[in-house]
Structure 1
Amino acid sequence: MTKPPLTLYLAAPNGFCAGVDRAIKIVEMAIEKWGAPIYVRHEIVHNKFVVDALREKGAVFVEELDEAPTDRPVIFSAHGVAKAVPAEAERRNMVYVDATCPLVSKVHIEAERHHENGLQMIMIGHEGHPETIGTMGQLPDGEVLLVETPEDVAQLRPRDPARLAYITQTTLSVDDTAGIVAALKARFPAIVGPHKEDICYATTNRQEAVKAVAPKVQALLVIGAPNSSNSRRLVEVARAAGCDYAMLVQRATDIDWRALEGVGAVGLTAGASAPQVLVDEVIDAFRNRFDVALELVETAQENIEFKVPRVLRDAS
């Protein structure tokens, strides 16, 4: 029986970014240095496949520090933590390694600098997301006001409308964020923005690649976890770019093949915390069912690498 033809457009860049790659290396090197178990506060990155693989190597994932014993090292996730977390680890005499993505740390430093200059911060981000919690937790309560939509901007009651700065979560939709920034600037003309865009290079690049693929396809799949902000944004970007059927799948077993019946062109991408093995798995699943012509749609090239902390480099 002949397989139906299908063009599979692979958006590039896709998958792991430098911050995720670094965070995973930190856990692996910590296990190598100190032996198992190593405790990790919160999922190191938002991907079940990655977390399960690290768990098998000896990582124990906890939500709060008090769930970890004081005599074992603890690692803070790539999303960043509030200042109170390392302070608590030091109070308990715990060995800790901070795997916060350097691009998230850059936003933390920005927030502190503006605070020292007497500005109140407005953060564009998703309430409850670990990165938002960690960034807002760099400053005292009340010093960071959170907005998620342009409508939220109208409800803001800052201390002094002339003394404001804004920062953003690194994994937001570039286009949605531009709308919120425009609303902030319209209402608070003196507001100070970041020197360089807070939304990280990897988020931006993956969204641009999806925008290039979406008009070519009838369906687009994003490999990523339901709690991955950057992966969920890719689904939204695909729909906004004209691809009505855009779905988030954790791996090949999640694909709804009935929905793809009669489709001749499908787009594929992966969020920044999804490993290459899952991309390959999905491509193989398509090849099992279709006569696949694989086309790469590359809109940028990435060669960024972040060093792991010195405590682990010294060990190796």
Structure 2
Amino acid sequence: MTVAQKPPLDVMICAPRGFCAGVVRAIDAVEKALALYGPPVYVRHEIVHNKYVVESLRRKGAVFVDELDEIPPTGAPVIFSAHGVPKAVPEDARQRNFFAIDATCPLVTKVHREAEVHHRRGRHIVLVGHAGHPEVIGTMGQLPPGAISLVETIEDVTRLDIPAGDLAYVTQTTLSVDDTRDIVEALKSRFPAIVSPHKEDICYATTNRQEAVKRVAPQVDAMIVVGSPNSSNSQRLREVAERAGCPVSRLLLRAEDIDWSIYGAIRRLGLTAGASAPEVLVEEIIDAFAERYAVTVETVSTADESVFFPLPRELRGEAAE
């Protein structure tokens, strides 16, 4: 098909999109450990929720495990993922004499510290998050059983069976800003004295990416979010696009996952990427559309990001030597 025969397609790319500072730090931690110590470098859980990234690191010598008991006795580095881990995991690593490196996103660590402070002050904690997500498991695992109650919906708030005394809430960092706002309002309505975080727990990257999608989604015929199905922030971006009025909203890992029957008559396509999706996959999808359409690309920017997190201490400068 010649360019003249191709139907026109305007691609509106959201900015910011893709890797956030916490994801960059976690991936860099694995790559720096591989460079310093050579393979294998063991990683508990997917370092970030993206299959492309995980497979790329695996080819370089990273070994991904679900639990520490899958790792043989070793002096090789053992890295904890960006999502954070329960307190029992570093303790288990210490007992096994592992060289453990914690690549938890500092913004997740902030939530852990908040929960610990509330607990020390005698407050029961309500965690707004998704059951079973590694970040939620890690946050709940900072404190003794029963110290934290998890809510996922407004209905969960109405069903909470906790004393109405000293309460505080924290949230998962990758939630829908709008959903969380509604749940927090329900919490404050039921428990007016509940203590809020000093600063919003939902991370800057999640908020910025959702705001960009809200700007673009009403203007396009379809929206593609590049990301993995198990990525919470990517799933939320798809939902945000849907709610903002985009008629077709899909979460795709790669160009090969495109269902072309959906996109036949579109004239405007929105494109973004979850915080754990690399830019190369965004470019791959643009290239796939360019084979079938006469593509023009426009970037719609709603925020500038300059956040940087240094590597874990064990991998920095003199400590690494």
Instruction: Give the TM-score, by structure 1 length.
Output: 0.98
Q: Does residue 77 of the first structure (1) align with residue 46 of the second (2)? A: no
TM superposition shift of 1:172 = 0.2
Counterpart-to-counterpart distance in 2, 1:192 and 1:117: 11
Question: Counterpart of 1:156 in structure 2: which amino acid?
Answer: L
Match of 1:114 in 2: 118
Question: Counterpart of 2:151 in structure 1: which amino acid?
Answer: V
Instruction: Please point out which of 263, 271, 278 is paired with 2:281.
Output: 278
The 5 Å alignment of 1:103-182 reads: 103-158=107-162, 160-182=163-185
Question: Counterpart of 1:307 in structure 2: which amino acid?
Answer: P
The 5 Å alignment of 1:140-289 reads: 140-158=144-162, 160-289=163-292
Give the match's secondary structure for 1:289: coil
TM superposition shift of 1:59 = 0.2
Question: Counterpart of 2:129 in structure 1: which amino acid?
Answer: G
Kindly, what percent of the aligned residue pairs are identical? 63
Counterpart-to-counterpart distance in 2, 1:280 and 1:244: 23
TM superposition shift of 1:293 = 1.3
Q: Does residue 7 of the first structure (1) align with residue 24 of the second (2)? A: no
Counterpart-to-counterpart distance in 2, 1:115 and 1:214: 41
Counterpart-to-counterpart distance in 2, 1:311 and 1:195: 30
TM superposition shift of 1:70 = 2.6
TM superposition shift of 1:310 = 2.0
Deviation string 1:181-228 (CA, Å, 9 cap, x unpaired) is 000000000000101100000000000000000110010000000000
TM superposition shift of 1:162 = 2.2
Question: Counterpart of 2:138 in structure 1: which amino acid?
Answer: G
Question: Counterpart of 1:282 in structure 2: which amino acid?
Answer: I
The total of aligned residue pairs comes to: 315
Deviation string 1:55-79 (CA, Å, 9 cap, x unpaired) is 0000000000000123132100000
Give ranges in structure 2 of 5+ residues lacking alignment: none
Counterpart-to-counterpart distance in 1, 2:313 and 2:174: 27
Instruction: Please point out which of 289, 309, 314 is paired with 2:312.
Output: 309
Counterpart-to-counterpart distance in 1, 2:249 and 2:265: 16
Counterpart-to-counterpart distance in 2, 1:21 and 1:70: 29
TM superposition shift of 1:251 = 0.8
Give the match's secondary structure for 2:150: strand
Q: Which runs of 4+ in 1 moved over 3 A?
A: none
Instruction: Please point out which of 46, 56, 59 is paired with 1:56.
Output: 59
Counterpart-to-counterpart distance in 2, 1:311 and 1:184: 40
Deviation string 1:255-290 (CA, Å, 9 cap, x unpaired) is 111110011001000000000110111111111111
Question: Counterpart of 1:141 in structure 2: which amino acid?
Answer: P
Question: Counterpart of 1:92 in structure 2: which amino acid?
Answer: R
Give the match's secondary structure for 1:25: helix
Counterpart-to-counterpart distance in 2, 1:272 and 1:13: 9
| RMSD, aligned α-carbons | 0.8
Give the match's secondary structure for 2:97: coil
Question: Counterpart of 2:145 in structure 1: which amino acid?
Answer: D
Deviation string 1:227-266 (CA, Å, 9 cap, x unpaired) is 0000000000000000121000001111111110011001
Counterpart-to-counterpart distance in 2, 1:73 and 1:266: 43
Question: Counterpart of 1:34 in structure 2: which amino acid?
Answer: Y
TM superposition shift of 1:157 = 1.1
Counterpart-to-counterpart distance in 1, 2:12 and 2:47: 30
Counterpart-to-counterpart distance in 2, 1:246 and 1:161: 41
Instruction: Give the TM-score, by structure 2 length.
Output: 0.97
Match of 2:104 in 1: 100
Instruction: Please point out which of 92, 95, 101 is paired with 1:91.
Output: 95
Match of 1:28 in 2: 31
Match of 1:296 in 2: 299
Give ranges in structure 1 of 5+ residues lacking alignment: none
